[in-house]
Structure 1
Amino acid sequence: MGDSDSFAERLGRRRFLRLSGAAGAAGLAGCAGQDELQGETETDGDSGGGSGGSGGSGSDTETDGGDSGGGESIKVGAVIPFSGDLADFGGPMLNAMKMAQEDINAAGGPLGREIEIVDEDSGTDSTQAVNAANKLVNTNGVQSVIGAVSSGVTISIANSVTIPNGILQITSASSSPSITTLDDDDLVWRTRTNDRFVAKVMAMIAQNEDASSAAVVYINNDFGKALADTFESAFEGETTAKVGYSSGQSSYNQVLSQAFADDPEFVALAGYPESGTTMLSQWNEQGYGGNWILHTSLLSSDVIENVGADIMNGMYGVRTKPPTGDATDAFVSDYEEQFPDAQVFSPYSWNSYDALVSYALAVQAAGTADPAEVKAQMRPVSNPEGETVSYGEFESAISMLEEGTEIDYSGPSGTVNYDENGDVASDMVIVSVEDGQFTDQETIPADELI
């Protein structure tokens, strides 16, 4: 192929060939006998389904009064990072939840009750986060928790607090495939796409650049390990090394030495902004070759600013594709107006908005804030085939539910269609660093990655 071909053009040809091959295989499968196909089951896909927060710190455990308008507020806990390696995300996520809270309460709230957010700092640390979640459940009386960001922290909260206590939990940022397989009694949900998608696209980028070798550097937790394994499975070339690391180190020279020992053409980095910034800076200082493919969590303008735009020029990244509809544009505009000095950290911001709204709609449909009843309504209010409701239409959605009309909520993050595991699927977008900005290159539809 010619050097003048763009990344998107090269990727388009590869996708065409791959999809043509898949179509051919599907055609052959269609010739198989019906008896051979009846035993097949689909394992993935959409099958139907400081903190300074706005919440209070009430000490009484809520007694849910069912469908009684004008009752006590419905307390929603938020365990998100305002400190630690993921501190960049906490503020924008809480801002988005406040926007959702304001929209919900302005419409009268679910069951005529206001939503009250009680937030705690996860510290990007499992022990601190579990303690925070226990406080929210046992002292503040929340019946739902939004959080966390780190997949390992989210899983710790789920296994130690929310699942044992029958509390509904929604994460708007954690992406490890390990969350999908939790034995959670349908209590753990997420509005953020599973990292299997991200890892597959990271491998696709290396292959599209005709790389025959690549390494993976990953933070040594549930999120990083699962992504590294999926990348290795998806990458058609040789994965020369998978190197785990701990955050908070002053030097990552040993990690870099292991990762670049066999001169991989690309290194996929699954990490967080603080440690990632240090690692990329030291990579440049030590004069290692190759190029980087960055996980969504590193696609921050702060990372470019701290590492240097000239150093990061030409690096690739993967993130979920923001919807192109009016809901996303309106949300971003409203966010920037309400929080002019705060970053909209997509997708965490708009996914946090949708997490709270989808929960509030499920409470309305359930007629109670009891998690055992609410969890059964999470899919019906957000999945097809109901009447479509979107950003800024909470009041209309409540009216429809009161009239017995089924609804299908979609918001700033797109369709919020929860599958049988409580996951959502999103299109992915490949980006590259150009002139100090992450610039979109190509969109990969979710149905190509399932």
Structure 2
Amino acid sequence: MSRNIVDIIDRRTLLKAAGGAGVTALAGCVSSTDDGSEETTETETDGTTETDGTTESGSNGGPYAIGMVDSLTGSLSAFGERNQRGKDLALKRVNDVGINGRDLKIIVEDSESESQGGVSAAQKLVNQNQVPFLIGSVGSGVSLAIYESVVQGTDVVQLSQNSTGLSLTDFPGLLRMSPTGRTQSTALSNIIADDGYDEVAVTYVNNDYGQSLADAFEQSYDGEIAYKNPHDQKQQSYSGVVSEMNSSGADAWLFITYQAEFATMVNEAYSSGYEAQFYGADSVSGDNVLENTPKGSMDGMKIVVPSAPVDQDNYKEFASAFKEEYGEEPTAWSAYAYDCVVTAALSIQAADEFTGKALQKTVREVTRPEGQKVTSFEAASKILSDGGGVDDVDYQGVSGPIDFDENGDPVGYLQILTVENHDYVGTGFIES
């Protein structure tokens, strides 16, 4: 896709350094629901041309170039659009300060919301642009395919903005900003049990995301799984699936799928007169579902979604700036992408050189609790500019404390949404 060329300002003599750090208690969360429209988003990159990204730190005044694989088109493009807005806001703030007197440039490629598209995009970024740091991608299957086909066995750092599949935990070299779906599965099993249901019917999308969350739910749920079967994406009808769920006799139905598929299931269950208490993982919620299902067809449904802490001061500031820029409230997906950019920038500034090997040593450390808690790139950058080391910084993201564990998973927060009057209403919070 086309990219605008912008001038790069040489900040070797104009580094901005403003101190200030704050420790803010977590007292709430914000929903990460997204609309499900398939909208192609044109994306700007901050930089000159798509040049080699391996220039060592300090060797010239050009930008540090990293890559990003995102869903600009395809079934997950609504999430990609939010990613790009969070990315753009973070990139502007990073470049207002600068990294060692230089800008950060992000080369964005489209995964088309598919594994093969993600692999092709990542190959271009890693092999042609030679980026040492890769943000990507949306969708657990896409992110894992990129890691196994392109990143694994190299020094390139991969940090996924939107992947919750449980299997990513088995690949500690693949970092992610959004929490593992195991937290969702455990929360759903507890909610369904607390609601008094000892029997449930489960259908899940036939990929790594769906399979892993469904398996984790089964492991956590103490009741009986009356029905558990996968379904394929992009089918015109799921009448067989909802009929089998109804025949199972379970009064609680759990959907682990995507918005378009779920909307079709809701319509077919509603038109058939089936009645059950609906539950869902995060990917079933969105404006697209509300717009394409009858009022009353989902009332009472409970959905567990990843979340960001709303009472954290830096989140409030982020949300205000996001709304001013884009005219809408951010989602957690926007916050995850924002934090990916800031984490990458801090990793670059803290590293001895701009190589994957050096960044591997800093990317986890700049969000560790051992350092001074800071809530902005500017404050963290000042610590490093004043002679502080990687152990002196603990960046607290707008999506919450990050603190990657040994498996590359962050601290996670969840929100419970309930469908009331055909709209999503926040009804509770969960800290993983």
TM-score (norm 1): 0.82
For 2:67, which of 72, 77, 81 is the aligned residue? 77
For 2:223, which of 230, 237, 256 is the aligned residue? 237
Q: Is the 8 A contact 2:155 2:360 kept in 1?
A: no
Letter in 2 for 1:127: Q
| Cα shift at 1:96 | 0.4
Equivalent residue number for residue 19 of structure 1: none
| Cα shift at 1:269 | 1.2
Which structure shows the bigger proportion of residues in helix conformation? 1
Secondary structure at the counterpart of residue 192 of structure 1: coil
Equivalent residue number for residue 399 of structure 1: 382
Q: Is the 8 A contact 2:414 2:431 kept in 1?
A: yes
Per-residue displacement from partner, 1:314-348 (whole Å, max 9, x unpaired)?
100001242121222221111111112x663x221
Per-residue displacement from partner, 1:26-85 (whole Å, max 9, x unpaired)?
xxxxxxxxxxxxxxxxxxxxxxxx4422226845423322244x6221222221212222
Equivalent residue number for residue 264 of structure 2: 278
CA distance in structure 2 between the aligned counterparts of 1:404 and 1:298, rounded to whole angstroms: 47
| Cα shift at 1:300 | 1.7
Of stretches 355-364 and 263-272 in structure 1, the one that deviates more from structure 2 is 263-272
| Cα shift at 1:193 | 0.5
Q: Is the 8 A contact 2:52 2:65 kept in 1?
A: no
- Aligned counterparts, 1:169-318, within 5 A: 169-182=158-171, 186=173, 188-318=174-304
Matched, 1:435 2:429: no
For 1:329, which of 316, 336, 340 is the aligned residue? 316
Equivalent residue number for residue 36 of structure 2: none
| Cα shift at 1:221 | 0.8
Letter in 2 for 1:173: N
Per-residue displacement from partner, 1:339-362 (whole Å, max 9, x unpaired)?
12x663x22110110011011111
Of stretches 237-246 and 98-107 in structure 1, the one that deviates more from structure 2 is 237-246
Structure 2 unaligned residues grouped into runs of 5+: 1-39
Inter-CA distance 164–314: structure 2 relative to 1 (3 Å threshold): same
Inter-CA distance 163–256: structure 2 relative to 1 (3 Å threshold): same
Secondary structure at the counterpart of residue 134 of structure 2: strand
Per-residue displacement from partner, 1:82-137 (whole Å, max 9, x unpaired)?
222212111110110011100000001x2222111211221121111111111122
Q: Is the 8 A contact 1:57 1:140 kept in 2?
A: no
Q: How many residues align?
A: 388
**Identity among equivalent pairs (%):** 30
Q: Is the 8 A contact 1:213 1:238 kept in 2?
A: yes
Letter in 1 for 2:203: V
For 1:97, which of 84, 87, 90 is the aligned residue? 87
Secondary structure at the counterpart of residue 106 of structure 1: helix
Greater relative CO, 1 or 2 (CA 8 Å, sep 6+): 2
Letter in 1 for 2:377: F
Equivalent residue number for residue 37 of structure 1: none
Equivalent residue number for residue 110 of structure 2: 121
| Cα shift at 1:310 | 2.3
For 2:407, which of 396, 421, 431 is the aligned residue? 421
Letter in 2 for 1:160: S
| RMSD (Å), alpha carbons | 1.8
Equivalent residue number for residue 351 of structure 1: 336
Inter-CA distance 244–275: structure 2 relative to 1 (3 Å threshold): same
Secondary structure at the counterpart of residue 328 of structure 1: helix
CA distance in structure 2 between the aligned counterparts of 1:388 and 1:204, rounded to whole angstroms: 33
For 2:352, which of 353, 363, 367 is the aligned residue? 367
Q: Is the 8 A contact 2:280 2:302 kept in 1?
A: yes
Q: Is the 8 A contact 1:151 1:174 kept in 2?
A: yes
CA distance in structure 2 between the aligned counterparts of 1:174 and 1:64, rounded to whole angstroms: 30
Q: Is the 8 A contact 1:176 1:227 kept in 2?
A: yes
Per-residue displacement from partner, 1:236-274 (whole Å, max 9, x unpaired)?
110112111111111111222233321212121111122
CA distance in structure 2 between the aligned counterparts of 1:103 and 1:60, rounded to whole angstroms: 22
Structure 1 unaligned residues grouped into runs of 5+: 1-49
